[in-house]
């Protein structure tokens, strides 16, 4: 297998929560060498359980010690990318901020090719910058939560995907790649500031613009939530429960697809049941918003007459835009055809696929990266001798994971 497109790129990642580990995961999947800096067990601070760790290495360092601080500086001095998960000003306060590496005020930096990437929650120049928060809070301030489906009384928050991973981690990686590309021309690094509020807003350009236009796709001032085409209002763009309590999705927005859907759906309903219905939809109902509640009621009752997989078979291969709602295990089986039924199949493959320099995939068991697993190896690469490393372990400047020879010191 050929080397990934980021082979040779050195990344230092300070251990953190979801968005930063995800950014590091993407970079590692596509070939970058990612070293995660973990706290030592003696730091009396919690160590995050991070499953987004494949293809990474871990070094455990007491950064508050003089020797540990120097080790971290040596790592960053040789890096192409630094991933900062902390609130604004934390790394600056301890002497590892962008000015140290990129210079400023007429002073040269210690690594002026460094891409200093940080992921914050709230906008760095906004009134919430120093507050704690999570995905649901960033989503709220982005304006997107107000447009999401839910009830007439309140929107529903999805899993922490939109702000944490898309608006945060993925947008940060995009910024890093832009900075690395520009560095080829200038030879200089720069700061990449990604915050989850701004990232979510940019990611949501399409619904936000349609909200402004009042196009009828999403909620707007004159059109409440759950009454529009793409926010759960349209019965032909919705989710339905089947006889076995499982679900199918219907997304036949275009008239030609709605025609195929309605013809197949009516054909597969029991004729005895159909003849008892006082109202049966035809193609005109799609454009008649006043009849949408009646259509939704009809579809809800109709789908409950057969189990999910029977409905899936009815619409499979047809342009009706109907597919089943799969469980994660079912989706993995579909994505990895022929894979053994095991936890390994649940691992999502890196995307997108590159024809010549694809990302590396992982099919092993789900596991944490042990804190300090690669401490010795990384220190040797930094030029420390075995004697020096042993001493650093003994005095608690660095930590190693259980099972290594040094762990018994």
Q: Decide if 50 is catalytic.
A: no
Q: Which of 128, 134, 247, 309 is catalytic?
A: 134
Mean of all residue pLDDT scores within the chain: 91
Domain architecture of the chain: domains with CATH: 10-203+352-408 (3.40.50.10540), 237-346 (3.30.1540.10)
The three-state (H, E, C) secondary structure of the chain, written as one string: CCCCCCCCCEEEEECCCCHHHHHHHHHHHCCCEEEEEECCHHHCCCCCCCCCCCCEEEEEECCCCHHHHHHHHHHHHCCCEEEECCCCCHHHHCCCCHHHHHCECCECCCCCCCEEEEEECCCCCCCCCCCCCCHHHHHHHHCCHHHCCECCCCECCCCCCHHHHHHHHHHHHHHHHHHHHHHHHHCCCEEEEEEHHHHHHHHCHHHHHHHHHCCCCCCECCECCCCCCCCCCCCCEEEEECCCCCEEEEECCCHHHHHHHHHHHHHHCCHHHHHCCCCCCCHHHHHCHHHHHHHHHHHHHHHCCCCHHHHHHHHCCCCCCEEECCCHHHHHHHHCCCCCCCHHHHCCCCCCCCCCCCCCCCCCCCCCCCCCCCHHHHHHHCCCCHHHHHHHHHCCCEECCCCCHHHHC
Q: Does pLDDT of 48 surpass 60?
A: no
Local confidence band at 377 (pLDDT 50, 70, 90 cut-offs):
very high
Confidence at residue 45, expressed as pLDDT on a 0 to 100 scale: 45
Q: Does pLDDT of 341 surpass 50?
A: no
Q: Among 25-39, 126-140, 187-201, 233-247, which is the least confidently predicted range?
A: 126-140
Local confidence band at 334 (pLDDT 50, 70, 90 cut-offs):
confident
Q: Decide if 164 is catalytic.
A: yes
> How does pLDDT run across 66-113, given as a tens digit for each residue?
999 999 999 999 999 999 999 888 999 999 999 999 998 888 999 999
> How does pLDDT run across 267-326, given as a tens digit for each residue?
999 999 999 999 999 999 999 999 999 999 999 999 999 999 999 999 999 999 999 999
Q: Which of 38, 50, 62, 164 is catalytic?
A: 164
Confidence at residue 332, expressed as pLDDT on a 0 to 100 scale: 84
Express as a percent the part of the chain with pLDDT over 90. 77
């Amino acid at each position: 297998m050929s080397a990934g497109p980021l082979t040779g790129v050195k990344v230092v990642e300070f251990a953190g929560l979801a968005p930063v580990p995800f950014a590091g995961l993407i970079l590692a999947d596509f070939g970058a060498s990612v070293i995660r800096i973990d706290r030592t067990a003696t730091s009396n601070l919690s160590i995050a359980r991070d499953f987004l760790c494949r293809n990474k290495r871990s070094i455990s360092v007491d950064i508050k010690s003089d020797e540990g601080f120097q080790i971290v500086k040596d790592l960053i001095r040789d890096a192409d990318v630094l991933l900062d998960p902390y609130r604004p000003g934390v790394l600056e306060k301890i002497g590892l901020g962008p000015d140290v590496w990129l210079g400023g005020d007429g002073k040269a930096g210690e690594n002026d090719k460094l891409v200093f990437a940080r992921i914050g929650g709230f906008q760095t120049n906004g009134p919430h910058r120093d507050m704690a928060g999570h995905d649901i809070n960033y989503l709220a301030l982005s304006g997107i939560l107000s447009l999401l489906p839910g009830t007439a009384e309140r929107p529903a928050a999805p899993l922490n995907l939109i702000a944490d991973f898309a608006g945060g981690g993925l947008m940060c990686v995009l910024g890093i790649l832009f900075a690395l590309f520009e560095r080829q021309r200038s030879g200089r690094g720069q700061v990449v500031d990604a915050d989850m509020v701004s990232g979510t807003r940019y990611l949501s350009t399409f619904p936000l613009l349609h909200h402004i236009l009042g196009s009828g796709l999403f909620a707007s001032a004159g059109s409440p939530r759950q009454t529009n085409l793409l926010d759960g209002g349209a019965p032909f763009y919705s989710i339905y429960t089947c006889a076995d309590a499982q679900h199918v999705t219907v997304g036949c927005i275009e008239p030609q697809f709605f025609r195929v859907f309605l013809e197949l759906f009516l054909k597969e309903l029991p004729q005895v049941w159909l003849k008892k219905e006082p109202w049966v939809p035809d193609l005109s109902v799609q454009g008649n918003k006043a009849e949408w509640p009646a259509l939704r009621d009809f579809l809800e009752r109709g789908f409950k007459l057969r189990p999910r997989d029977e409905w899936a078979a009815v619409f499979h291969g047809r342009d009706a835009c109907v597919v089943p709602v799969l469980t994660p295990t079912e989706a993995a089986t579909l994505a990895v055809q022929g894979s053994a039924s095991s936890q390994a199949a649940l691992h999502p493959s890196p995307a997108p696929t590159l024809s010549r320099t694809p990302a590396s995939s992982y099919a092993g068991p789900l596991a944490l990266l042990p804190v300090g697993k690669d401490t010795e190896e990384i220190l040797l690469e930094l030029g420390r001798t075995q004697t020096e490393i042993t001493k650093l372990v003994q005095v608690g400047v660095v930590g190693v994971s259980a099972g290594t020879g040094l762990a018994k010191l």
